[in-house]
Amino acid sequence: MNYNHNKFSEKSLSSIFLLKLSKIDWLIILSVIILGFVGVTSLYSASGGNWEPWAKNHLIRLSFGLTLMLILAFIPPNLFFKFSVISFCIGILSLIFVKFTGTGNVQRWITISGINFQPSEFMKLALILILAKYFDHISRVQLEKLTTYIIPLCLIILPGFLVISQPDLGTGLTIILLGLAILFFVGISMKFVIISILIVTSSIPFIWNQLYDYQKNRILVFLNPEMDSLGSGYQIIQSKIAIGSGGFFGKGYLLGSQSRLNYLPEKHTDFIFTLISEELGFLGSISIILVFCILIISIMKISFRVVPLFSKVVVFGIGFLLFLYLSLNIGMVCGLLPVVGAPLPLISYGGTSLLTVLIGLGIVSSINIHDKEVL
């Protein structure tokens, strides 16, 4: 009798597993694999046709991240709901901790047992989760009251301020933009939008005076790169030259002259799209952007399909975060935006940003698989 019961249980578990496996959005998985492959091959090219020091590490991290993503996909979303407050508190404490023990030229990194990680990247996911939990029980009537936004604004400004003070203006503004996008998504009152625009506009002189000299210089150089062509404007000028020299079909894999002659700074991180554009040309660049668009649209479709508000906000936040990464990075290397520390998701070298994206996609997959379950 017990044997038959155990046999029935095993069949039930296997059926549940297969059912959940069938709900995975394989288009998201395929997009991640394609972009990860592009990242490995681009880093191989950036190091002059060598696996060391970037391509091998990126492949290892990508494999680990993909495994973690699939594990997270089978965890019920209510677990993320329950631990959203804890994750946010840990994120804030990490940002405070990095102010006193951070490593690098600026205090952005924490080193534990020889492993470096950037708390500000994980903070983005923690912010999405905490805002989603807050708005999960807010009614439509409450959304019309300005007092409703006091707590979420504090939740957005606190990590944003801590990151900007590292100093990391680009990541800090990304966190703030991410938070404001979520407020807009949940149906923020237009009165609040108008008041916010007026406050930000009137605060520009104060914000400008608080910037570091190098940050002011980046903005001025963005407006006129030739004013410091051998200094702050060097990156943008060389980036434009490399992108333009790639033409329609590119110079060919491993044949980029700008990258080979080391004219491209940070070609393995923030400016890796420049290397891709030079070697693969317009055709290769637009193909990669198309894969990103497929990935982001697939995520947004899940956001509009799922029922619980918590799930909607989380999926939207992660999709918008990917959009921010993509638009900031490509806008920066093309000279359309000032130079900021914005990696190209799944392609740029960097373990923290890669794991952040893959963990986020794991949460999206979890929400997609457990769509009909009540939180």
**Exposed / middle / buried, residue 100 (Cβ in 10 Å: 0-12, 13-18, 19+):** exposed
| String of DSSP letters for 290-333 | HHHHHHHHHHHHHHHH--SHHHHHHHHHHHHHHHHHHHHHHHHH
Phi, psi of 117 (to 5 degrees): -145, 155
CA distance 60 to 253: 22
Measured in residues, the chain has a length of 375
Q: Would you kindly state where each structural domain of the chain is located, as residue ranges?
A: 27-74+213-307+330-370, 84-211
Q: Count other Cβ atoms within 10 Å, centred on residue 243.
A: 22
Determine the 3-state secondary structure of 138 from DSSP: coil
Residue 193, CB half-sphere, CA atoms under 13 Å: how many? Answer: 12
- CA 236 to the chain's CA centroid: 22
pLDDT in tens, the chain (375 residues): 444 555 545 556 666 666 677 778 889 999 999 999 999 999 999 988 899 889 999 999 999 999 999 999 999 999 999 999 999 999 999 998 887 775 555 556 776 666 777 888 999 999 999 999 999 988 878 877 878 888 999 999 999 988 888 778 888 889 999 999 999 898 887 777 777 778 777 877 777 777 777 778 778 777 777 776 666 677 788 888 888 888 899 998 888 877 777 777 778 888 899 999 999 999 999 999 999 999 999 999 999 999 889 999 999 999 999 999 999 999 988 888 887 778 899 999 988 899 999 999 999 999 999 876 555
CA dist list (Å): 203 to 39, 120, 171, 189: 39, 24, 20, 21
pTM above 0.85, yes or no: yes
Q: Which residues contact 14 (CB under 8 A, 6 or more apart)?
A: none
Question: Tens digits of per-residue pLDDT, 86-119?
Answer: 999 999 999 988 877 755 555 567 766 667 778 8
Question: Tens digits of per-residue pLDDT, 331-347?
Answer: 988 888 887 778 899 99
Q: Can you say whether residue 247 is alpha, beta or left, with left for phi > 0 and alpha for psi between -120 and 50 degrees?
A: left
Q: Which residues contact 320 (CB under 8 A, 6 or more apart)?
A: 178, 181, 182, 185
CA dist list (Å): 337 to 99, 104, 220, 250, 328: 28, 25, 11, 24, 7
Q: Quick one: DSSP state of residue 24?
A: S
